[in-house]
């Protein structure tokens, strides 16, 4: 087994780079990845701050660099992690340590969401299933045992904090466009603090959110009128194109665009007195939050280190189980054939009835279990000691998949490929 991930995040990439790196829907991308004969499993993660591709198979590092070329992603903005580094990365992501706003809660929900979507698309097998379930467990545990998610820790809450700091909220009229997950968080943060109007393409959804937070719902085709009325306009929709253009903007308005792709055309800044804040402006808040949470980050990292060791052990056990299953599957297939043949011979000679099949089957099961107990024990010992060289051969011999070796030579090869690609 070899597991690797391609990461394009806010650490190296701008918002435009992240937007351009996502092509098509989740199932289509997974289908393209799995069409490569070297890839057996695939999972994706797409948020406003990251695009990540996880793969399990053979020669995965080289595949991910080639896939990045297909996506048009320059090497300068991507990272590729393999093996333990990849596992550590997804645990940190789910725990909020890799987020722009350190400790933010939304990323854990997004990891859960994409785990379920990728599973339904057929991308997640038993290895990524184990890895992502562990990541979700660790993300939950970190938030339960530390204070890393206390205070302004989401893009939405950081955006409100930014508005409070830069323009103030007292006495302001605010138009919120979008009643989805992000918009709902914004609405709850603003509830009771401003005169709030909520617009959504599906009016009923906007109306429900407005009732919840004590706001007024407005129809989507009326937003231009409310842009004129309100002091601050916040966009948080899933639209793939700008919904606010220069022609719709008015002088002396404040726009906060926390959507990806962006909802507000940059040309609105050409209007007199207009201020436009985007996710890029939240990077400064991220740095401040990081300083405040250093102690909590240290606690979180200790939890991750412990859980990473457990995950590695679980993957070793899983690897051993794959080879053991291959042996038992082959033995089971032979057993069925031999039982039928033995029964037919005994019936012809001794005129026995079908009750003898149970005796033959019990004998065969006992023989297989005793015969394979020693190689089963040895395979588990090999896995525990990181000796995986024989595993692909064993799986191949017994009709399994024959995964690539996890030997040190493969890790060295992966590092050499990475260095070569980075130099290129």
Q: Is the pLDDT of residue 153 over 70?
A: no
Q: Could you tell me if 12 and 77 lie in one domain?
A: yes
Could you tell me which residues are beta bridge partners of residue 234? Answer: 176, 256
Whether residues 190 and 135 fall in one domain? no
Distances (CA, A) of 405 to 193, 290, 413: 59, 39, 12
* Predicted pLDDT of residue 400: 59
Give the pLDDT confidence score for residue 253 in this predicted structure.
97
Q: Which residues of 252-278 are buried (b: 16+ CB within 10 A; e: fewer)?
A: ebbbbbbbbbbbbbeebeebeebebbb
- One domain for residues 23 and 125: yes
pLDDT in tens, 378-407: 777 777 776 666 667 677 677 755 443 343
374, two tokens: 């020693």
Structure tokens at 219: 């129809």
- Whether 158 is in a domain gets the answer no
pLDDT averaged over every residue in the chain: 87
Q: For residue 336, give its domain range.
A: 320-407
Provide the 10 A C-beta neighbour count for residue 338: 12
Instruction: Determine phi and psi for 43, rounding to 5 degrees.
Output: -140, 150
DSSP string, 390-405: THHHHHHHTTS--PPP
Evaluate whether residue 12 is within a structural domain: yes
C-alpha distance from residue 385 to each of 157, 394, 406 (Å): 47, 17, 12
CATH of the domain at 100: 3.30.460.30
Residues 134 and 179 in one domain: no
Instruction: Compute the average pLDDT of residues 193-219.
Output: 96
Confidence of residue 421 (pLDDT cuts 50, 70, 90): very low
Neighbours of 60 (CB within 10 A): 30
Predicted pLDDT of residue 240: 84
The count of structural domains within the chain is 3
Whether residue 285 is predicted with pLDDT greater than 80 in this model: the reply is no
Comparing 47 with 140, the larger pLDDT belongs to 140
CB 49 within 8 Å of CB 9: yes
pLDDT at 388: 62
Collapsing DSSP to helix, strand or coil, 7 comes out as strand
Residues 10 and 114 in one domain: yes
Give the separation between CA 72 and CA 66, rounded to whole angstroms: 10
Q: Look at residue 38 and tell me if it is in a domain.
A: yes
Residue 156 lies in a domain: no
Assigned domain for 157 exists: no
Please check whether residues 302 and 351 belong to one and the same domain.
no
Helix (H) or strand (E) holding 196: strand 195-200
What CATH number does the domain containing 221 carry? 3.40.50.720
Interstrand relation of 275-278 and 254-257 (parallel, antiparallel or unpaired) = parallel
Which regions of 110-184 does DSSP assign to beta strands (E)? 173-177
The catalytic residues are 48
Structure tokens at 59: 């020669």
Does some domain include residue 424?
no
Same domain, 136 and 88: yes
Q: Are residues 118 and 212 in the same domain?
A: no
Tell me, what's the pLDDT at 382?
Answer: 75
- Would you say residue 350 lies in a domain? yes
**Same domain for 23 and 123?**
yes
The reply to whether 73 falls in a domain is yes
Residue 32, pLDDT score = 93
Is 225 in the same domain as 254?
yes
Claim to verify: residue 36 and residue 15 sit in the same structural domain = yes
**Same domain membership, residue 133 and residue 82:** yes
| DSSP conformational letter for 270 | G
Q: Is 417's pLDDT higher than 70?
A: no
């Amino acid at each position: 087994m070899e597991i690797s991930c391609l990461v394009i995040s806010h650490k190296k990439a701008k918002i435009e780079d992240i937007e351009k790196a996502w092509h098509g829907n989740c199932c289509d991308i997974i289908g393209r990845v799995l069409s490569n004969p070297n890839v057996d499993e695939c999972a994706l993660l797409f948020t406003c701050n990251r695009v990540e591709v996880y793969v399990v198979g053979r020669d995965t590092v080289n595949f991910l660099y080639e896939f990045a070329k297909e996506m048009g992603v320059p090497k300068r903005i991507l990272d590729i992690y393999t093996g333990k580094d990849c596992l550590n990365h997804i645990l940190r992501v789910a725990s909020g340590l890799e987020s722009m706003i350190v400790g933010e809660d939304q990323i854990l929900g997004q990891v859960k969401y994409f785990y379920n979507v990728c599973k339904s698309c057929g991308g997640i097998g038993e290895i990524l299933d184990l890895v992502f379930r562990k990541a979700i467990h660790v993300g939950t545990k970190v938030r339960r045992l530390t204070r890393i998610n206390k205070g302004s820790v989401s893009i939405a809450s950081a955006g409100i904090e930014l508005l409070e700091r830069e323009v103030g909220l007292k006495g302001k009229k605010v138009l919120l466009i979008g009643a989805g997950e992000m918009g709902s968080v914004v609405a709850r943060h603003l509830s009771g603090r401003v005169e709030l109007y909520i617009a959504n393409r599906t009016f009923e959804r906007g109306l429900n959110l407005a009732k919840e937070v004590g706001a007024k719902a407005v129809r989507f085709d009326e937003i231009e009128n409310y842009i004129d009325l309100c002091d601050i306009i916040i966009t948080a929709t899933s639209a793939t194109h700008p919904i606010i253009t220069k022609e719709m903007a008015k002088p002396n308005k404040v726009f906060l665009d926390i959507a990806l792709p962006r909802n507000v055309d940059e040309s609105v800044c050409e209007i007199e007195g207009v201020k436009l804040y985007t996710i890029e402006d939240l990077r400064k808040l991220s740095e401040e939050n990081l300083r405040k949470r250093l102690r909590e980050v240290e606690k979180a990292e200790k939890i991750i280190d412990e859980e990473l060791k457990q995950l590695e052990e679980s993957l070793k056990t899983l690897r051993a189980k794959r080879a053991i299953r291959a042996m038992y599957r082959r033995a089971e297939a032979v057993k069925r054939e031999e039982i039928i043949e033995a029964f037919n011979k005994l019936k012809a000679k001794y005129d026995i009835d079908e009750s003898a099949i149970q005796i033959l089957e019990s004998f065969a099961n006992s023989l297989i279990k005793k015969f394979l107990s020693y190689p089963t024990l040895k395979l588990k010992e090999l896995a525990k000691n990181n000796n995986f060289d024989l595993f692909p051969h064993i799986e191949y011999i017994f009709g399994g998949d024959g995964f690539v070796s996890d030997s040190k030579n493969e890790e060295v090869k992966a590092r050499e490929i990475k260095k070569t690609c980075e130099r290129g």
